[in-house]
Amino acid sequence: MAGGGSLKRKGNRGKRPARAACYLQQFKVSYRYPVCFTRGVFAPSNDALAEALARSPETPRRMLVYVDDGVAAAQPQLIPFLEAYLAGRPGLCELVRPPESVPGGERTKNGWNVVQSIMATIGQSHLDRHSFVLAVGGGSVLDMVGFAASLVHRGIRLIRVPTTVLAQCDAGVGVKTGMDEHGMKNFAGTFAPPFAVLVDFDLLRTLEPKYWTGGIAEAFKVALIKDARLFSYLCRNAGRLAARDEAAIEHVVERTALLHLEHIRRGGDPFEFGSARPLDFGHWAAHKLEVLSHYRLGHGQAVSIGIALDSCYAAAKGFLTPAQRDQAIEAMAAIGLPVWDDLLEADAGEGLPAILKGLEEFREHLGGVLTITLPRGIGAKVEVHDVDLAAMRACIGQLRRMAAPA
C-alpha cells in the first residue's frame, strides 16, 4: 500500500541552474501480512488458510500449490488433505492444477530448472498479480518458490506454509527469497514480503533430527543478541528441546519468529539497504561453511558453528565473559547442534584458513563496509567493522580444543 510521498525540486532557486532540473522523488510503501501459529492447517475446521485468502476480496482467486518433496514423502496425507480442504470450501479459490512436488533441501536453490518450470507454469496457468502461489516446505523450498513467484509479473502473491523449525522461526516469516549461484549462498534473490504465513506446529513431527535441531540455532542467534530471557529458556530447556518436547519447541519457534518479525518491522531497514544485518550474527562463517562442505552442513548446523566461533571472538574482545561464551556453546551442544567442524581449519593456500574468505564474501553480499554483529553481554549487540584475523584464528584453535578435545 503506498503512503504519502513528495517530489521536491533540488537546487538553487532563482540562480541559473547548472543543469535543467533535479527532483527528489520520495514515497513510502507499507506492508501488512498475517503470520498465524496453528495446528492442523489443512483440517476442514481450520480457518487460517481461508481467512488468509479472503484478505483478497476479488474472486475467483486462482492458486497454484508447490510442496517440498521431503514433506510430501514424509506426510503423504498432506496433499490429499489440502485438496479436500479446498474442495470443502467451494468458492474460496480455484486450484488451477493439482499440487506439485518440488525438490526439497538446499539442492533446490542450486540450479534454475525448477525456478524456470514454476515460472512457465504460472504463465501457462494465466495467474496474474492478484493470484496466489502456496508454498509448503522448508526454508530452501520457500526461498526457491518465493523467488520464482516474485519474478513473474514482478510478483505473484505468495502464501507460505513453513515445515521445518528453521523455516517456521526464521526463513518462512521474513521478506527475502534466495538462490545459490557463483559458489555463494543466496547470491541471487529478491525482497518480496509474503501475502500470508501459516505456521503449523504439527508439520514438524516428521523432521529428521538434523533439521529439528538446526532451526534452534537461529533461536540462539536472535536470543544472544536480542533476548536474554529466550537465551535463558534455551539453556534451561536444552534437554527438553533435544528430546523433541513439543511445548518447548513451540515456545521457541513462536518467540524466535516474533523477534525476527519485530526486527523487520522496527529495525528501520527491512530491505537491508544499510551495511549491518544483525540477524546474520554467526552467518559470515556459516555461509562459507555451507559452501565449503558442499552443503553437507545444513544451514542451521552451519549457523550453530558460526555462533560458537563468533561467541569465542566476542569473548576474546571482551564483549562476552568466558562463562557466557561457555554457556552458549554448551547449551547448543547439549541440544545436539554441532559447534565445530574440521572445515574451520581447511587451508585456502598461503596458510590462510578458507573460512576467513567468508568475511569478504559476507561484506560483498551486504554491501558497504564490513559489519559483523556480535553479542555484547547476553541479549544485546555490538557491531564491529574490523575483524582481528589473528584473534579470529586463535578462536578457531580455541573452539577446536573446547569442542573436540584430543
Ligand X SMILES: NC(=O)c1ccc[n+]([C@@H]2O[C@H](COP(=O)([O-])OP(=O)(O)OC[C@H]3O[C@@H](n4cnc5c(N)ncnc54)[C@H](O)[C@@H]3O)[C@@H](O)[C@H]2O)c1
203 binds ligand X per the rule CB under 6 A: yes
272 binds ligand X per the rule CB under 6 A: no
Q: Is residue 174 within 8 Å of residue 144, measured between CB atoms?
A: no
Q: Which of 86, 160, 169, 178 binds ligand X (CB under 6 A)?
A: 178
| Length reported for the chain | 406
Taking the CB of residue 222, how many other CB atoms lie within 10 A of it?
A: 25
Taking the CB of residue 32, how many other CB atoms lie within 10 A of it?
A: 8
Q: In terms of CB distance, is 138 or 358 closer to ligand X?
A: 138
Q: Which of 176, 263, 363, 365 binds ligand X (CB under 6 A)?
A: 176
Residue 254 C-beta: closest distance to ligand X, Å: 16
256 binds ligand X per the rule CB under 6 A: no
Q: Where are the alpha helices (DSSP H) in 227-341?
A: 228-236, 238-242, 246-266, 283-292, 299-316, 322-335
Give how far the C-alpha of residue 373 lies from the chain's centroid of Cα atoms, to the nearest Å.
Answer: 17
- Site for ligand X (CB under 6 A): how many residues? 34
Q: In terms of CB distance, is 69 or 330 closer to ligand X?
A: 69
Task: Name every residue whose Cβ is closer than 8 Å to that of residue 212 and which is 6 or more positions away in sequence.
Answer: 165, 204, 244, 249
Residue 215 C-beta: closest distance to ligand X, Å: 6
Residue 208 C-beta: closest distance to ligand X, Å: 6
Site string for ligand X, 22-61 (x = CB under 6 A): ----------------------------------------
Q: Which of 133, 170, 194, 378 binds ligand X (CB under 6 A)?
A: 170
Q: Which of 70, 282, 306, 353 binds ligand X (CB under 6 A)?
A: 70
Angle between helices 357-366 and 283-292 (to 10 degrees): 110
Residue 60 φ then ψ, to 5°:
-75, 145
In 262-284, which positions are buried (b, 16+ CB within 10 angstroms) versus exposed (e)?
ebbeeeeebebeeebbbbbbbbb
Site string for ligand X, 204-223 (x = CB under 6 A): x-xx---x--x---------
Q: Is residue 139 within 8 Å of residue 171, measured between CB atoms?
A: yes
Half-sphere exposure of 207 (CA within 13 A, CB side): 26
Q: Which of 159, 161, 167, 332 binds ligand X (CB under 6 A)?
A: 167
Three-state DSSP at 373 gives strand
- The residues pairing with 67 across neighbouring beta strands, listed in sequence order, are 101, 136
358 binds ligand X per the rule CB under 6 A: no
Q: Which of 278, 300, 306, 358 binds ligand X (CB under 6 A)?
A: 300
**Which one of the spans 2-10, 47-55, 160-168, 335-343 is the region binding ligand X (CB under 6 A)?**
160-168
Residue 160 C-beta: closest distance to ligand X, Å: 10
Name the site residues for ligand X (rule: CB under 6 A). 68, 70-71, 74, 104-106, 109, 137-141, 143, 163-164, 166-167, 170-171, 174, 176, 178, 185-186, 203-204, 206-207, 211, 214, 298-300
